[in-house]
Chain A
Amino acid sequence: MASIERAALEIREMDDLAALDSPIHALHPLAKLLTTMVYLLTVVSFGKYDLSGLFPMVLYPALLFSLSGISVKTCFYKLRMVLPLLLAVGVFNPLLDRAPLVRLGGVALSGGVISFLTFTLKGLFCLSASFLLAATTSLDSLAAALRKLRLPKMPVTLLLLSFRYVSVMMEELAAMTTAYRLRAPGQKGIRWNAWGSFLGQLLLRSMDRAEELYASMRLRGFQGDFPYAEGRPLSGRDLAYFLLVTLGLLAFRIWNVSRLLGGLLL
């Protein structure tokens, strides 16, 4: 399968994951959205050398992975495009910041190495938490949750439509590349002098399709609201989840658990 086609399919596969059944999937989207936001804020708030304080934050994604039945492998596979970026951004820290900061069994670690590790770990945590949210909650119910938070209709509708639009555009791109390849055997990629018309066509075609899709939504009564997403109110369970996780995160933020544990053991 061509790589673009693969990518288009992968976007749609997020819907498949979100359609699975687990205690996490069953939680109210609003509870999951807020919890994820609290988690992201907590992770980001750790200082750039606070590796030991940050480390226990791994518990949240670990818990969600095990409860939701979504495998870590799937997560990293889907994120494989972004991960190198994350490493690339942090990789200069060890070179710039060389003052030794801690000693671990005779080896001196520089501030740069620590901040590189902290940065990478923060990135990994945030990415997996966002992935877990997307993989356990359908986009439509997320959109509905955003509307419950009183976000205006317009940006939410845009978010929803652009998600669908991206996959439409990738499908068009895949179809066009296939058509091109079949008539230009032996060529690697698309020759530069065909690019202009190729991109133009792609834009026109995907705009046409997006317009028809949107028309089809309007014809079936769509006015920017999401009546089809679960309308159930927040239950005690949802609240309990949100409160417990938030309290846990706060506790881990305030007390450096790694150091406490270390202190107990030494």
Chain B
Amino acid sequence: MIRFDHVSCAYEKGRTVLRDLSFSLEKGEAVGLVGANGAGKSTLMKALLGLMPYEGEITVDGLKVEERNLREIRRKLGFVLQNSDNQMFMPTVAEDMLFGPLNYGMKREEAEKTVDEVLLSLGITELKGRHNHRISGGEKRMAAIATVLAMKPEVLLMDEPSSALDPWNRRMVIRTINALPVTRLIASHDLDLILDTCGRVLLLSGGRLAADGPAEEILTDRALLEKHRLELPLRFGGENPR
């Protein structure tokens, strides 16, 4: 479904952020993208979405990520941004959720039905008519996830989905991720969340792929994780920050 073939990326000349990445994701697979702050997780997502130039080749469903394919590719990808404030631009949650589907030509009635279904599945029906500038950070995060799910993407990309969420909403997000049959790529340093949602893990460090394998293998390898400035998930005896 998604293929990276010797991909490198730089914001400025000479300062490479992603170095020679190669991997592929199968249809329906759930993959965690882990790595310390600044490892390049967000940059990888941006490259995949065609939001930044790269060297090498990225393909989605056989289509190369380049200008002429972007509309078709973006139709398939649903991206939950790291910062929900930058995700929502319509006045209300419902209007924001309608934006994508209508842009891609869905009939209004159908789109509205989808909106209701998604809100229900996330347990946030009460947010429907609320104004985006009047909801809390966590609610906004849930709403941002809803706007993306309303587009019925074939691939779900999430950048730090659990930040700003209380335990209840974090649980809802985990349940939602697990209930979706689509291809999922979840970037996070919440390793417990990754363990709960992903079968496979890509470990990114300094822009390089440091490991790629089953989640329970990589996320239990204390030496490997510590070498790349990560800690064991809490349930495996990771340090409790409190």
Contact = CB atoms under 8 A, between A and B. Distances in A.
Interface of A: 9, 12, 15-16, 18-19, 138, 140, 164, 171, 209, 212-213, 215-223, 225, 227-228
B95 to A, nearest CB: 7
Contacts of A218: 74
Nearest to B82: A212
B100 A221 contact: yes
A171 B90 CA distance: 16
Contacts of A16: 91, 131
B232 interface: no
B75 interface: yes
Contacts of A19: 91-92
B131 A213 contact: no
A163 B151 CA distance: 25
A15 to B, nearest CB: 4
A215 B50 CA distance: 10
Contacts, number: 66
Contact of A219 (B79, B85, B95, B131): B79
Given A212-B81, A213-B86, A218-B74, A15 B99 contact: no
B141 to A, nearest CB: 14
Interface of B: 49, 51, 71, 74-75, 77, 79, 81, 83, 85-87, 89-92, 95, 98-100, 102-105, 131, 133, 147, 151
B177 to A, nearest CB: 19
A228 B98 contact: yes
Given A212-B81, A212-B86, A221-B75, A12 B131 contact: yes
Classify the interface of chain A: helix, strand, loop or mixed.
helix
A12 B103 contact: no
B151 A15 contact: no
Given A212-B86, A221-B71, A228-B95, 15 more contacts: A16-B131, A19-B92, A212-B83, A216-B89, A217-B99, A219-B49, A219-B51, A219-B74, A220-B74, A220-B99, A220-B104, A221-B75, A221-B100, A223-B71, A227-B102
Nearest to A215: B51
Nearest to B111: A228
A228 B89 contact: no
Nearest to A8: B133
A209 B83 CA distance: 9
Nearest to A138: B91
Contact of A221 (B81, B85, B91, B104): B104
A221 B133 contact: no
A140 B104 CA distance: 17
A213 B91 CA distance: 14
4 residue pairs, one from A and one from B, having the closest CB atoms: A221-B103, A220-B100, A212-B86, A15-B91
A138 B95 CA distance: 12
Contacts of B92: 19
Given A12-B133, A15-B131, A138-B91, A216 B81 contact: yes
B90 A140 contact: yes
Contacts of A12: 91, 131, 133
Contact of B89 (A217, A223, A227): A217
Contacts of A164: 89
A212 B85 CA distance: 10
A138 B92 CA distance: 11
19 contacts: A12-B131, A16-B131, A18-B91, A138-B91, A140-B90, A164-B89, A209-B86, A212-B81, A216-B79, A217-B99, A218-B74, A219-B51, A219-B77, A220-B100, A220-B103, A221-B103, A221-B104, A227-B105, A228-B98
